């Protein structure tokens, strides 16, 4: 591994005492503690997660309260010493045997995503939401998306550090980072991985609870990465509607309706607001 840059593996954990122990045992059996820096971020757990992490050669950082998946990753990124960082879940879904391959690929790519195979375990209730996000995401970046919400992925640390200010503290960190790297033109590699069913407690992500968050995420991603994709079509539709209504009024009633004038003016305002939003979006993504 001497030809591979310094790598930090970040494992966020919230009440994952069972899954974390099995994950760290597997890492230990593969002798990976000697090859990578491992960071466990305890995101305000109320069980024995922190105590279990202390039994292994990892760097442990603790949040006093539960801040969210993305916030735990941000803490790990800031504390990491490696030139590259890799994220993996603490619930046993991700097989650490893929770590050396991801580390190797990070020499050639700015981001590497562990792309789940078709036979990987997935929660059926989330498939519809993921499909909607994929459609919107591909519309925004105008290209096919890799596995946009896979949590098993690696980054050039300096690049992801430069984008932390636009990354959410919640579960959508993976999706946002995928779109951000695509939008900024960074190189992305993928590695097929097999994902198992999680161990220990049930997932915190619930369909009814997080459904509204998914739609808010879609609006947030749109405004963050390509607001003109929304403003421009609406401005065109409003302009055409106003012009058609105006022509109809002039032909039938021999006058141009006030509502048609309002619609045409509104279309112009929508277009100008879209241009302004697009400039703000570019400035907001500007690297530190």
What pLDDT is attached to residue 288?
A: 46
With cut-offs at 50, 70 and 90, classify the pLDDT of residue 98. very high
Question: What is the average per-residue pLDDT within 165-173?
Answer: 88
pLDDT at 265: 97
pLDDT at 123: 62
Do residues 213 and 245 share a domain? no
The answer to whether residue 119 sits within a structural domain is yes
Q: Are residues 31 and 149 in the same domain?
A: yes
Mean local confidence (pLDDT), 91-113: 95
Backbone dihedral region for residue 142 (phi beyond 0: left; psi -120 to 50: alpha; all else: beta)? left
Q: Does residue 206 share a domain with residue 246? A: no
pLDDT digits (tens, 9 = 90+) for 242-282: 999 999 999 998 999 999 999 999 999 999 999 999 998 88
Q: Is residue 2 part of a domain?
A: no
Inform me whether the pLDDT recorded for 162 exceeds 80: yes
Give the whole-angstrom CA distance, residue 123 versus residue 149.
13
Domain that holds residue 179: 7-225
Asked whether residue 34 falls in the same domain as residue 109, the answer is yes
- Is residue 201 located within the same domain as residue 238? no
- Please count the structural domains in the chain: 2
This prediction's pTM: 0.82
Q: 160 and 239: one domain?
A: no
| Residue pair 127/118 in contact by the 8 Å Cβ criterion | no
Q: Is 1 within the bounds of a domain? A: no
Residues 96 and 38 reside in one and the same domain: yes
- Report pLDDT for 138: 80
Question: What pairs with residue 238 in β-bridges?
Answer: none
The answer to whether residues 150 and 277 belong to one domain is no
Task: Identify the helix (H) or strand (E) that includes residue 41.
Answer: strand 37-43
The confidence score (pLDDT) of residue 134 equals: 77
**Do residues 42 and 139 share a domain?**
yes
Q: What is the mean pLDDT of the chain?
A: 88
């Amino acid at each position: 591994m001497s030809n591979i840059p310094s790598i930090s593996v970040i494992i966020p954990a919230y009440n994952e005492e069972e899954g974390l122990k099995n994950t760290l045992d597997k890492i230990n059996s593969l002798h990976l503690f000697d090859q990578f820096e491992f960071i466990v971020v305890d995101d305000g757990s109320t069980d024995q997660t922190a105590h279990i992490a202390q039994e292994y050669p990892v760097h442990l950082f603790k949040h006093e309260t539960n801040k969210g998946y993305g916030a735990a990753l941000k803490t790990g990124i800031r504390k990491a010493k490696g030139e590259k960082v890799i994220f993996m879940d603490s619930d046993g879904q991700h097989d650490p045997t893929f770590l050396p391959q991801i580390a190797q690929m990070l020499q050639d790519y700015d981001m590497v995503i562990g792309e789940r195979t078709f036979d990987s375990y997935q929660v059926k209730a989330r498939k519809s939401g993921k499909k909607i996000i994929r459609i919107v995401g591909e519309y925004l970046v105008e290209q096919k998306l890799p596995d946009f919400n896979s949590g098993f992925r690696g980054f050039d640390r300096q690049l992801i550090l430069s984008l932390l200010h636009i990354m959410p503290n919640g579960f959508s960190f993976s999706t946002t980072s995928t779109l951000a790297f695509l939008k900024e033109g960074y190189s992305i590699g993928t590695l097929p991985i097999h994902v198992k069913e999680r161990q220990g407690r049930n997932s915190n992500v619930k369909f009814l609870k997080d459904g509204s968050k998914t739609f808010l995420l879609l609006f947030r991603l749109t405004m963050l990465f390509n607001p003109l994709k929304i403003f421009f079509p609406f401005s065109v539709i409003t302009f055409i509607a106003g012009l058609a209504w105006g022509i109809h009024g002039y032909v039938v009633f021999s006058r141009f309706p006030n509502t048609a004038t309002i619609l045409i003016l509104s279309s112009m305002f929508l277009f100008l607001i879209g241009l302004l939003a697009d400039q703000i979006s570019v400035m907001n993504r500007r690297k530190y």
